[in-house]
Structure 1
Amino acid sequence: MTYTSNQKGSHALQLTQGSYSGSRWGLKGSEDIGAGTRVIFTLENGFNPLNGAALQSGRMFGRSSWVGVTNEAYGSLTFGRQYNSVQDFLTYLQAGSNGALGLYANAVYDTDGLNNTYRSQNSVKYTSPVVHGLTVSGLYGLSNQPGGFATNRTWSVGANYSNGPLRLDAAYARLDSPGSTPAGAIASDNYFSTATSIIANVKNNRVFGGGGAYTFGPATVALLYTNVQFDILTGGSLHFANYEINGRWLVTPSWLVAAGYIYTNQSASSSSYSNAHYHQLTLGTNYFLSKRTDVYLSTAIQQASGAHAWIEGIGAPSSNDHQIVVTAGMRHKF
């Protein structure tokens, strides 16, 4: 259940889905083919349990759909519909993925893609083995268009270093003509739209970011910075800088509490957009009834300047500069 203080001028109480984890089911498999090498695959469907509909624009396996090979000494090579390097590495540092905050703790409009507004199709990804705590990865998504190799393609690189309680991550992604065709690397039904954000008519999209996390016994604190630029087809660009700090504390083995704060600076050199600032605070808690089932409660508060407030994941913006969202629910894993 989700309460929103203002959606286009009215408050709303709604039955919502996927507030903490998008509902999903799927298949994973591996086959040992010798010499330390395994063939691996993942097929993962996203669905709305409120009406049974498939998510990701109706795709049967819209969350992930890939096959590949892996070897402990040489790493993994996978092919299909996958997450890029920014999503693979930086997601672990954001408030929305730290276990007790969920969807509404993401940066406004999900500009850095960490809430998986898009995925990379027709992609080839290499992920290295862990060497002295370091993992690197790179992805290239093809346009699959004869005569249009550079149209609607994407590539990304990223790295993670983990050493005991310390984790450090950095990543970069570039999307050329994203959403311009239905069958390219970033499909037109799998990208930003004015139905869910202010972003549209994108010529090129660049994302880079980095941060780190440190664990103190039952508590973890994380810092994350992402910088996003959208070049607009009609000229100029729209730029977002997101600064985030978040933390979580496992008070008991069954009780988790968390908090996250994001400051977003929006600047524009396109006449279609304006400059704006957003402050967002999210507080949440989980109680684990078992290893597979938990209940949760969270509150997100956003204050905007120069724009209407619009918390990521809510269906419509506020009619003014502030918006409050409270959500409660149950999650079951099987």
Structure 2
Amino acid sequence: MKKTLLIALLTGIFATAAHAQSSVTLYGLIDTGLTYTSNQKETGSTAGHSKFGMTDASINPDRFGLRGSEDLGGGLKAMFALENGFTLTNGALGQHGLLFGRQAFAGLSSDQLGTVTFGRQYDSVVDYLAPLAGAGAAKGGVFFGHPYDNDNLQNTMRINNAVKYASPNYNGWRFGSLYGFSNAAGGFSDNRAYSFGTSYNNGPFRFAASYLQLNNGGSDANLAGATDSLVNPAGQVTGSDSTFSAGQQRTFGAGFDYAFGPATVGFVFTETKLENATGINNTSASPIPLANSSLRFDNYEVNAVYNVTRAFAVTGSYTFTDGSSSLAGASSPKWNQFNLLLDYALSRRTDVYVEGQFQHVSGGGTVFTADINGLSPSATSSQVAVTAGLRTRF
């Protein structure tokens, strides 16, 4: 009898210990509000109309996910993440209907050597540079994004078939890289991606730099490659997870911020160059045709966050985007955008906010009108948006 009790006790202890070495977490975020938008372009017309309606994801896109890890011993862990994006206002799946369109990866993590993961993942611009930008999810969010999210600071685009490495933290310094395979026989560079970046965060000063390159992204040349495309039954590309459809996209940038007392100020510069570009996909209207042109966006952003109290914060930014293109009548588009966000935390997980944006475009001709990221394009060169919202995390 005593032996039976001892065996049962030891079995229970070992089972508990084994269970404690593994963990799975369900998490999520919901962000919704009411938004006024000026000059919204009406479908099938060139006229602009004011709009007041329910929106979602003005700061952070809605999501829920599972992440887990298993301790393999010796500082080594197996890990995974499956993250779904959705639209709260109608319950639809995000990322063109993908079940785990935001992230889906598995890998190994070592305390000494770093982390290697495989799957659908964020690039190094998102991982390293975005936390310093007002256009990134950590500060201002979606509506603060640079025109068309041309530099992917708002992680409009993910990379499929990706192998990613992230280093350990060396006294505040980190670095990493990513490669997205084309998965095409005889077309190694046909819809592939690669990216790398670094950051330093130690004390009040933060710095980051990153680079991203896509080859033949956002086209129907290789639908199983590094970026997604939507194709209708007739075989036509009707949408894309990639911000642009282009023969080549190169994005690089750097930035810093500095915290003193309750305030943080920062500056970010990014540049995106497109060659043989056929369209801009990241717009609520139909894709903007680019007629196989070249296009460049230089983004200069200043941002600031001031914590008035522990519960109340004010975030603001200004971005000047200097563009150039080979398109007739739109060779030198220039965007000016001002953003302001007032956020009040009701608890550690729930906050309410009011934010506003103003964007003005010059030199865009009929190709580039005002188009605040995440909202419908304007029929004119100017657009204003004001949002009152609620955000909660679980």
Same fold (TM over 0.5): yes
SS of the residue corresponding to residue 87 of structure 1 reads: helix
Residue equivalent to 1:129: 168
SS of the residue corresponding to residue 130 of structure 2 reads: helix
Further displaced range: 229-238 or 135-144: 229-238
SS of the residue corresponding to residue 29 of structure 1 reads: strand
What's the offset of the Cα at 1:195? 7.5
> Does the C-alpha gap of structure 1 residues 200 and 47 become closer, same or farther in structure 2, counting only changes over 3 Å?
closer
- Aligned residue pairs, count: 329
**In the alignment, does 2:2 pair up with 1:2?**
no
Query: Over aligned residue pairs, what C-alpha RMSD do you find?
Result: 1.9
* Aligned counterparts of 2:123 and 2:244: Cα–Cα separation in 1: 21
**In the alignment, does 2:369 pair up with 1:330?**
no
* Aligned counterparts of 2:110 and 2:329: Cα–Cα separation in 1: 49
What's the offset of the Cα at 1:100? 5.8
The answer to which structure has the higher helix fraction is 2
Give 1 or 2 for the bigger CA radius of gyration.
2
**In the alignment, does 2:266 pair up with 1:222?**
yes
SS of the residue corresponding to residue 90 of structure 1 reads: helix
* Aligned counterparts of 1:158 and 1:100: Cα–Cα separation in 2: 20
Residue equivalent to 2:370: 309
Letter in 2 for 1:216: F
**If the length of structure 2 is used for normalisation, what is the TM-score?**
0.80
Residue equivalent to 2:320: 263
Check whether the contact 2:38–2:51 (CA below 8 A) recurs between aligned residues. yes
What's the offset of the Cα at 1:182? 2.3
Letter in 2 for 1:289: L
What's the offset of the Cα at 1:273? 4.9
Q: 1:205 aligns with which of 249, 253, 263?
A: 249
Further displaced range: 246-255 or 178-187: 178-187
* Aligned counterparts of 2:101 and 2:134: Cα–Cα separation in 1: 24
Check whether the contact 1:221–1:248 (CA below 8 A) recurs between aligned residues. yes
What's the offset of the Cα at 1:235? 4.9
**If the length of structure 1 is used for normalisation, what is the TM-score?**
0.94
* Aligned counterparts of 1:269 and 1:162: Cα–Cα separation in 2: 40
What's the offset of the Cα at 1:53? 0.9
Check whether the contact 2:268–2:301 (CA below 8 A) recurs between aligned residues. yes
SS of the residue corresponding to residue 126 of structure 2 reads: helix
Structure 1 alignment gaps of length 5 or more: none
**In the alignment, does 2:78 pair up with 1:39?**
yes
Residue equivalent to 1:321: 381
Residue equivalent to 1:274: 331
Q: 2:147 aligns with which of 108, 111, 135?
A: 108
Letter in 1 for 2:100: F
What's the offset of the Cα at 1:119? 0.4
> Does the C-alpha gap of structure 1 residues 178 and 282 become closer, same or farther in structure 2, counting only changes over 3 Å?
same
Residue equivalent to 1:119: 158
Q: 1:183 aligns with which of 191, 199, 224?
A: 224
SS of the residue corresponding to residue 177 of structure 1 reads: strand
Show CA shifts across 1:260-308 (max 9, x none). 0000011013459532111100011111011111001000001111222
* Aligned counterparts of 1:210 and 1:81: Cα–Cα separation in 2: 24
Structure 2 alignment gaps of length 5 or more: 1-33, 42-47, 232-236, 278-290
Q: 2:349 aligns with which of 267, 272, 292?
A: 292
Check whether the contact 1:100–1:296 (CA below 8 A) recurs between aligned residues. no
* Aligned counterparts of 1:24 and 1:98: Cα–Cα separation in 2: 13
Check whether the contact 1:139–1:156 (CA below 8 A) recurs between aligned residues. yes
Check whether the contact 1:194–1:200 (CA below 8 A) recurs between aligned residues. no
Residue equivalent to 2:44: none
Check whether the contact 1:101–1:285 (CA below 8 A) recurs between aligned residues. no
SS of the residue corresponding to residue 353 of structure 2 reads: strand
Check whether the contact 1:100–1:284 (CA below 8 A) recurs between aligned residues. no
Map 1:68-147 onto structure 2 (within 5 A): 68-97=107-136, 101-147=140-186
SS of the residue corresponding to residue 196 of structure 2 reads: strand
Check whether the contact 2:265–2:305 (CA below 8 A) recurs between aligned residues. yes
